[in-house]
Amino acid sequence: MSDLQSITDALIAGDDNALTQKVQDALDAGTNASTILSEALIAGMDIVGGRMETGEMFIPEVLMSAMAMGEAVAILKPLLAEGEATSAGKVVIGTVKGDLHDIGKNLVVMMLESSGFDVTDLGVDVNIDTFLTTIREKNPDIIGLSALLTTTMPMMRETIAQINASGLGDGVKIMVGGAPVDQAFAREIGADIYASDAGSASKLAKEMMHA
C-alpha cells in the first residue's frame, strides 16, 4: 500500500515527474493499473478537491495536480479496460455563442477530466446547432454551458430552450456557470445544476451521476 500512498502524495504535490515515475514503478512491481487509478489517483483527486474547498490548496496548485493526473492516466490507459479511465460519465461543454471567454470553462474541463469524466470541449462561441449535433453524437450525461458576459446570458437561456425543444434534453442534466450566473438565474432558465467554481462543478457533476 505504501507505493500507492506515495503516488497519492506526488499527485497532491502536483509533481508530475515524481508521479509518473512512481506510477511506472508501481506497475513494474506488479500493481494492477485499475488499483492505481482508483485507490491512488482518484482517491488523491478527492483529497485535492476537498482541500480546494477549504482553501488549504490554491487553484494553481490544484491545476498542477490535475495536469499531473492527466499524465499518470495516460500511462495507465493502455492497461485499463475500455472506458475505465473515463467511467465517471460523459460531458459535453462549451462557452455559449457570442462569448469568447474560456479560462473558467477550461478549469472546469480540467477538474472534470481529473475526476474521471469523458469531456468533449467545444471551445468558445459555440452556436446552438453545434451543441445539438454533438449531443446527438456523444449522448452525454451532462451538458455544461459557460458565459462570462452579461450580454451572453440570454444565449444560455436560448441554448437550453433549443436543447429541450429538440428532445435531446431528456435524461440529460444541464450545468451552467460563469461570473454573472447565479442559482436563481440557473433555475429560471431551466438548468439542473449551477456551479459557482471549477471545484464545485466537478463535485456536483459526481453527485449528479450518483443521484
Phi/psi region, residue 123 (left: phi>0; alpha: psi -120 to 50; beta: rest), is left
* Residues in 95-114 at the binding interface with other proteins, rule: CB under 8 A: 102-103, 106-107, 110
Binding of other proteins by 147 (CB under 8 A): no
**169: closest CA among 210, 132, 206, 137?**
132
Establish if 67 lies at the interface with other proteins (CB under 8 A). Answer: yes
Q: Compute the least distance from the CB of residue 67 to other proteins, in Å.
A: 6
Task: Count how many residues are written for the chain.
Answer: 211
Which one of 84, 125, 158, 197 is in contact with other proteins (CB under 8 A)?
A: 197
User: In 3D, which of 121, 144, 124 has the Cα closest to residue 191?
Assistant: 144
Contact between 91 and 112 (Cβ < 8 Å): yes
Q: Does 59 bind other proteins (CB under 8 A)?
A: yes
The residues near 65 (Cβ < 8 Å, ≥ 6 apart) are 11, 12, 13, 14, 44, 45, 48, 57, 114
Binding flag, residue 63, other proteins (CB under 8 A)? yes
| Site membership for other proteins, residue 158 (CB under 8 A) | no
CB of residue 167 vs other proteins: minimum separation in angstroms? 33
Q: In the bound complex, what is the minimum distance in angstroms from residue 78's beta carbon to other proteins?
A: 25
Q: Nearest distance from residue 96's CB to other proteins, in Å?
A: 18
Instruction: Report the residue number, 9 or 84, with the smaller CB distance to other proteins.
Output: 9
The residue assigned the cell 499518470 is 72
Looking at the Cβ atoms of 37 and 64, the one nearer to other proteins is 64
